[in-house]
Chains A and B, each alone.
Chain A
């Protein structure tokens, strides 16, 4: 994928996001003109971007969307829910295409039908009677103007067979560009793998080709067969761009000249084969003068039948007939051909065209103007450039003719002057710049555009310039000179206004958002690196310890410790800074809810208002991302089962529109997300009964359970209260999946509900999961880590205080019975726990859900901050470890997953 495409996709997704948001906002304020303009701009820009690539499926839909929004913006079409629905559908489709492009680099043909359907469905909304809006097709400024003869000698076209030239002449009249291409391969080209003959023959649009030796051939014995001394000459209908593209690896080896069609008109043949019919020439010119093309053609045809077809005469007549057919009004050219019968010389079209001004009195024909000497341009000027030049000049003429705009008139005129001088330089007519400058000075002094218009008329004749397709409606008024405001006035006015309006604004520093988009992978790398620094720095205290105990250099030990303090501070700050980079606002997950709630509640026929609060609350990217699916599930549940239908709500004395609030707040080092609805709530009795029916609880529990406890049964695995499984939330996965997902990122979930009043679900998540604080314990000579989140306390329990109840060990701590388990046993190690000198065992009390469990270990060590790396590969199957981390001394610490362990 190219960087441009990546940029496009990334920007497209932003725009899609923006479009979705604006549509949601419009739903609340359907008359907000500013919102509509914004929305239009988004769709419009996105379409513009897509047009840079070859994604017709995408552009088609966006184009329709743009036209639709344009109509809405201008008030031709009213905004409606229907419209929003269709537009949202279309944007979903665009999003899908973006994914497709990202995946495959292109859009599969399978999307064409859907694209057409969506495009049509959008357009359907625009076609209000009488205001049908079609994409306003406007041709880009291009011209079918013929190329212009170059002052440089034309290639020896007359050596080409007449048939070829006639065919080319016809093609040129059909609008094909004609180029004469000379390809001069390097002498050593065979050694660089070139195949000049093949290269030349494969040139696009070849009509004729010839091979010529560059120098006289040496004696056969001396010929170096590995040296290429051939030149290739080609006549082709390929455009300049195509040729450049085809020869892009050897641009210095080709020369291409645009061939004016008329240059092909060259009679050839035996000049001496027959008499010159002077009478015929005189008569023909006479007929031509009367403009009687029919008689002329007839006479030429009769003459042709009488002549030997190999004669020059016959050839000239054939050309005359062709000219009469294709350029019936180009009498000048026809005359030239007839004249050539007199002298039987090759027609020098350049000389002829130089004469053209003398026939200026005659009605100008397109062909004649083409020959106008003013239009003579350097050979490098292609037809495309000629057309653009003509269009540009016409535009400048038009601009000079525009009504005066006081404030920026001078600037506008000066921009025209720079444009014209640019054009002159571009066609290497620098000598005329002096004239332009004089005219400009006159124009600026006289405060009138007239001198410039005069200059334009003299140097770029009006007729010769193709009417620019891009020229504005109001044509340039050649006659009426436009009065320009006195220069000084304009200047001062311009300055004054500029200062007032912009002097201040510039200082306001409207700089764009100072943010960068960075790939996730780069941040992850930084995260890993800082993780390593944290680990590496932990080696310093260890070294200090060794310096003192092993080598006995206490002084060095102290210095190492001091240095450690510095590095530690920097590392911590760095870690914080990188964490900050990873922080994302919860709006990232919240933003999908307006659309989700709207779509689902409509589908269910419910009225729900969504309130989002604390969207700016931030948490680590991984946390935010892990929040997405559980939240969607909860919201769906709430919409599906929580909210009642409007009539039910009214009957219960509640407003028919329910309110769903999603609120994010930060509480110390945790993010808390609350999802609250004012629906029917959860009936503890129903839950209890269900749980009992499904065998999740036994009869005694059933009676003992408080309402609060009962309600929390919805989190039990295999529990689903929905009577009917709907396509929305009842997908066989219940709240237990939500709970698991939240707990996976060290989060907690709590639910309280009041029957008839609503339900509130509270998710509490760590702000960051990048750094884990673990306690190191020792067991059977090995060290293990345990997340501090799980640790309640560490105690030493005398062996005598350990009781055995029903074959499991337990002890009493602060009046509560705590079951004890041996870590060694859990890990499958045979060694019994080691007691200390006082015959006390180390007990690590850990939290396991609502309960506390004591783990018998050998000894406690310190707590450390580590970057937990999840187990990968085969090891990922070891559920009892949540991951590993590297320690300061280079050893690996296995971090236990308490829950799985038990």
Chain B
């Protein structure tokens, strides 16, 4: 069972993504900001991170930079943002994201990316 950590401050978005991912058979964990996400990432292993950009306390970039700075397994990360932040893609990649999706993304599109990144046929 592949584990995915959803990092987003909006409960609605978390629920949306959780529903999609769980219906596709993934195990989902949630964090509401970068700090909480980092705690979880350091405590348990995930196969993929889905990270929102704009969050209180520690934003998505900060989370990824800290995460990638740790000597732990480094699973791929999808950064999920809205159009308003679309210009920030390069920053996302520089921070350690491996894919970039605009929300709201279609469930199929999201799953295609998840499948490819996690590596399931």
**A interface, CB within 8 angstroms of B:** 3-4, 7-8, 11-12, 41, 44-45, 47-49, 51-52, 66-67, 70, 135-138, 140-142, 241, 378, 380, 382, 384-385, 388-389, 391-392, 395-396, 398-399, 402-403, 405, 407-412, 414-419, 421-428, 470, 472-474, 491, 494-495, 497-498, 501-502, 505-506, 510-512
Q: Which of these, B12, B98, B102, contacts A11 with CB under 8 Å?
A: B12
Residues of A within 8 A of B36 (CB): 510-512
Beyond the given A48-B104, A138-B86, A411-B68, please list 9 additional residue pairs across the A-B interface where CB-CB is below 8 A.
A45-B13, A49-B10, A407-B69, A408-B68, A412-B74, A424-B119, A425-B119, A498-B70, A502-B66
Q: Are A7 and B11 in contact (CB under 8 A)?
A: yes
- Would you list 23 pairs from A and B whose C-beta atoms are within 8 A, ordered by A residue? A4-B19, A7-B12, A41-B54, A44-B82, A52-B104, A138-B86, A392-B116, A392-B117, A395-B100, A408-B65, A409-B68, A410-B71, A411-B68, A415-B77, A416-B98, A419-B99, A425-B120, A426-B116, A470-B99, A472-B93, A494-B71, A502-B66, A505-B38
Q: Provided the pairs A140-B101, A384-B112, A411-B70 are in contact, do residues A70 and B10 lie with their beta carbons within 8 angstroms?
A: no
Q: Are A48 and B93 in contact (CB under 8 A)?
A: no
Q: Are B113 and A388 in contact (CB under 8 A)?
A: yes
Q: Are A408 and B96 in contact (CB under 8 A)?
A: yes
Closest A residue, CB atoms, query B49: A415
Q: Provided the pairs A136-B87, A426-B120, A428-B121 are in contact, do residues A392 and B113 lie with their beta carbons within 8 angstroms?
A: yes
Within 8 A of A (CB), among B5-33: 9-13, 15-16, 19, 32-33
Closest B residue, CB atoms, query A415: B74
Q: Output the least CB separation between A743 and chain B (Å).
A: 40
Q: Are A415 and B96 in contact (CB under 8 A)?
A: yes
Q: Are B103 and A51 in contact (CB under 8 A)?
A: yes
Q: Are B121 and A425 in contact (CB under 8 A)?
A: yes
Closest B residue, CB atoms, query A473: B90
Q: Are A395 and B99 in contact (CB under 8 A)?
A: yes
Q: Output the least CB separation between B91 and chain A (Å).
A: 9
Q: Say what secondary structure dominates the interface of chain A.
A: helix
CB < 8 Å A-B pair total: 193
Q: Are B74 and A411 in contact (CB under 8 A)?
A: yes
Residues of B within 8 A of A137 (CB): 83
Q: Are A506 and B54 in contact (CB under 8 A)?
A: no
Closest B residue, CB atoms, query A422: B119
Closest B residue, CB atoms, query A245: B108
Q: Provided the pairs A378-B121, A388-B116 are in contact, do residues A510 and B9 lie with their beta carbons within 8 angstroms?
A: no
Contact with A along B56-82 (1 / 0, CB 8 A): 110000001111111101111100001
Residues of A within 8 A of B69 (CB): 407-408, 411, 494, 497-498
In the A-B complex, the 8 residue pairs with the closest CB atoms: A411-B68, A425-B119, A422-B119, A408-B68, A472-B90, A414-B74, A138-B86, A408-B69
**B interface, CB within 8 angstroms of A:** 9-13, 15-16, 19, 32-33, 35-36, 38-39, 42, 54, 56-57, 64-71, 73-77, 82-84, 86-87, 89-90, 93-96, 98-105, 108-109, 112-113, 115-121
Residues of A within 8 A of B108 (CB): 241, 384
Residues of A within 8 A of B82 (CB): 44, 47-48, 51
Q: Are B83 and A506 in contact (CB under 8 A)?
A: no
Residues of A within 8 A of B66 (CB): 408, 498, 501-502
Residues of A within 8 A of B119 (CB): 421-426
CA of A408 to CA of B61 in the docked complex: distance in angstroms? 12
CA of A395 to CA of B93 in the docked complex: distance in angstroms? 8
Closest A residue, CB atoms, query B65: A408
Q: Provided the pairs A141-B101, A423-B119, A470-B100 are in contact, do residues A4 and B84 lie with their beta carbons within 8 angstroms?
A: no
Closest B residue, CB atoms, query A59: B104
CA of A378 to CA of B116 in the docked complex: distance in angstroms? 13
Q: Output the least CB separation between B119 and chain A (Å).
A: 3
Q: Are B74 and A418 in contact (CB under 8 A)?
A: yes
CA of A66 to CA of B83 in the docked complex: distance in angstroms? 11
Q: Are B39 and A506 in contact (CB under 8 A)?
A: yes
CA of A405 to CA of B69 in the docked complex: distance in angstroms? 10
CA of A142 to CA of B101 in the docked complex: distance in angstroms? 11
Q: Provided the pairs A398-B93, A402-B93, A415-B68 are in contact, do residues A11 and B100 lie with their beta carbons within 8 angstroms?
A: no
Residues of B within 8 A of A67 (CB): 84
CA of A470 to CA of B67 in the docked complex: distance in angstroms? 22
Q: Output the least CB separation between B114 and chain A (Å).
A: 9
Q: Which of these, B15, B74, B94, B104, contacts A402 with CB under 8 Å?
A: B94
Q: Provided the pairs A47-B82, A52-B12, A494-B71 are in contact, do residues A392 and B99 lie with their beta carbons within 8 angstroms?
A: yes
CA of A4 to CA of B16 in the docked complex: distance in angstroms? 7
Q: Output the least CB separation between B116 and chain A (Å).
A: 5
Q: Output the least CB separation between A755 and chain B (Å).
A: 51
CA of A384 to CA of B39 in the docked complex: distance in angstroms? 35
CA of A497 to CA of B69 in the docked complex: distance in angstroms? 8
Q: Are A427 and B121 in contact (CB under 8 A)?
A: yes
Q: Output the least CB separation between B40 and chain A (Å).
A: 10
CA of A44 to CA of B53 in the docked complex: distance in angstroms? 11
Residues of B within 8 A of A472 (CB): 89-90, 93
